[in-house]
Amino acid sequence: MAIVIKPNLKMLPYVILAIIIAFIIFDSGAEKENISQEIIIETKEIPESYEANIDTKEIHLVKSGENLSIIFEKYKVPLNSTYQIFRKDKKGQIKNIQPGDRLEFTWAQKTLKEIKIIKDASTTFLINFLADEVEIKKIKKSSEKIISFKSGVIDSSFYLTGLKENIPESVIMDLAYIFGWDIDFVFDIREGDRFLLLYETLFIDGVAIENGSILYAEFYNQGKKYTAVRYKGKNKQWDYFNENGNSLEKAFLRAPLNFAYVSSHFNPNRRHPILNKIRAHNGVDYAAKRGTPIRATGEGVIKSIGSKSGYGRTIVIKHGGEITTLYAHMETYNTSLARGSQVIQGQTIGYVGDSGLATAPHLHYEFKVGKNRTDPLKVSLPSAAPLEERFIEDFKKITSNYIDLSKELLSKDPNESIFK
């Protein structure tokens, strides 16, 4: 009797699926086996001399009191190499290192390969050590001067306004100095005063490295406009002039401090704060932080320096035309000065303190003509000579260009409406 097996059609899909899965597993296993056979791990030994061939570098920042001989000895520069460097440095450009200069020593194994002496962002001296000699190269990077424009409206102090407008501190101080012959930045500044300026910025490789000179500036103080234009006139020296070619420079600065405030005016009938009696106040008191630099308001000779009764530590400067100026209550003097020393306008002669009869740190400043004491804030200061006639045409052309550029840049400035 024949046995007939009927296929279960309901199970057929499961059987087919099982066959497919088995095939996939078998095939992938074979593939993995083939791949694993193709992987070859290869190792190489690193030569012992590999690390010895790597250059090493040591960096030294020059400190105050160091010289090149001391530094070379510290980094074991061979004596014969030091001798060759000094012999070839005939102008002393390499030996004349300054605090902050950067030296980079590069060694190949234990042999000195090169020394870089980086003076600043634009100047580097490269010293290469060859087989039998030393080679010195001066590398000078080219720089680019860009004219920058800034403006500001004073709401508290000129200095703080300048910082708020992102004006570099050195430029703020230069601007105060330029207009310092006409404006007392301690006493004359008012809220709402405004200014604009063009100044140079030095770039190397697209990076700003130094702020240059102010080229043109306008300052509006108590409704009066002051202008400064940088121009090279007589003796080919740069100076600042107003728009008419008159020099801004005067024989005396208006104030002996850059930034402070007047705490006591010239007053022949003032009551002394310590002695509590009427005693003439023959000068102006400038309140400032202890240690603030005090500058000579004019060129002259130190007539006296030392303690002077209630004035405390005092310097008296004799100028031309029977004029003397007095600076009192100092904390310390400029140690390079003595009786008979020559001083120039703007030179630091000492620092604010409270020596003598003083209730707080301040500078007492007097301006005397002959035997007469005058109010330093009101005395008329003589001006320097104006531009010679042969320079006027060129000066006016340059001034006009600066004015046009200022107007163009001001039109894009947030402070434009204030200047209309």
- For 334-361, how does the pLDDT look when each residue is reduced to its tens digit (9 = 90+)? 999 999 999 999 899 999 999 998 888 9
Alpha-carbon gap, residue 344 to 365, rounded angstroms: 17
Question: Mean pLDDT over residues 390-396, rounded?
Answer: 93
Question: Mean pLDDT over residues 367-391, rounded?
Answer: 82
Query: Does the structure show a pLDDT above 50 at 204?
Result: yes
Question: Mean pLDDT over residues 238-247, rounded?
Answer: 91
* Residue 26 pLDDT class (50, 70, 90 cuts): very low
Alpha-carbon gap, residue 337 to 294, rounded angstroms: 13
Query: Does the structure show a pLDDT above 60 at 53?
Result: no
Q: What is the CA radius of gyration of the chain?
A: 38
Q: Coil, strand or helix: which one is 100?
A: coil
- For 94-123, how does the pLDDT look when each residue is reduced to its tens digit (9 = 90+)? 888 899 999 999 988 778 899 999 988 888
Question: Mean pLDDT over residues 265-269, rounded?
Answer: 41
pLDDT at residue number 19 = 58
Structural domains of the chain, with CATH: 54-140 (3.10.450.350), 144-250+411-419 (3.10.450.350), 261-374 (2.70.70.10)
Alpha-carbon gap, residue 154 to 159, rounded angstroms: 9
pLDDT at residue number 403 = 94
pLDDT at residue number 274 = 45
Question: Mean pLDDT over residues 188-215, rounded?
Answer: 89
Question: Mean pLDDT over residues 204-228, rounded?
Answer: 90
User: How many CA atoms, within 13 angstroms, populate the side-chain half-sphere of residue 161?
Assistant: 22
Sort strands 342-343 and 123-129 into parallel, antiparallel or unpaired: unpaired
pLDDT at residue number 210 = 82
Alpha-carbon gap, residue 317 to 365, rounded angstroms: 11
Query: Does the structure show a pLDDT above 90 at 172?
Result: yes
Average pLDDT of the residues of the chain:
82
* Residue 12 pLDDT class (50, 70, 90 cuts): low
pLDDT at residue number 205 = 79
pLDDT at residue number 381 = 76
Residues paired with 192 in a beta bridge: none
Alpha carbon distances (Å) from 295 to 72, 289, 352, 362 = 40, 15, 10, 14
| Number of residues that this document lists for the chain | 420
Query: Does the structure show a pLDDT above 50 at 5?
Result: no
Give yes or no for a contact between 215 and 402, defined as CB atoms under 8 angstroms apart.
Answer: yes
Q: Coil, strand or helix: which one is 87?
A: helix
Question: Mean pLDDT over residues 160-170, rounded?
Answer: 92
One-letter identity of residue 93: Q
The more confidently predicted of residues 46 and 390 is 390
- For 28-46, how does the pLDDT look when each residue is reduced to its tens digit (9 = 90+)? 444 444 433 444 444 445 4
Give the position of tokens 């790597």: 54
One-letter identity of residue 78: P
Alpha-carbon gap, residue 291 to 324, rounded angstroms: 24
The more confidently predicted of residues 143 and 45 is 143
pLDDT at residue number 402 = 95
pLDDT at residue number 41 = 44
Q: What is the largest CA-CA distance in the chain?
A: 156
For the CA atoms of 214, 218, 220, 226, what is the dihedral angle to 10 degrees? Answer: 100
Contacts of 337 (CB under 8 A, 6+ apart): 302, 305, 315, 343, 349
Q: Which two tokens stand for residue 21?
A: 């899965």
- For 57-88, how does the pLDDT look when each residue is reduced to its tens digit (9 = 90+)? 899 999 988 999 999 999 999 888 899 999 88
Alpha-carbon gap, residue 192 to 211, rounded angstroms: 27
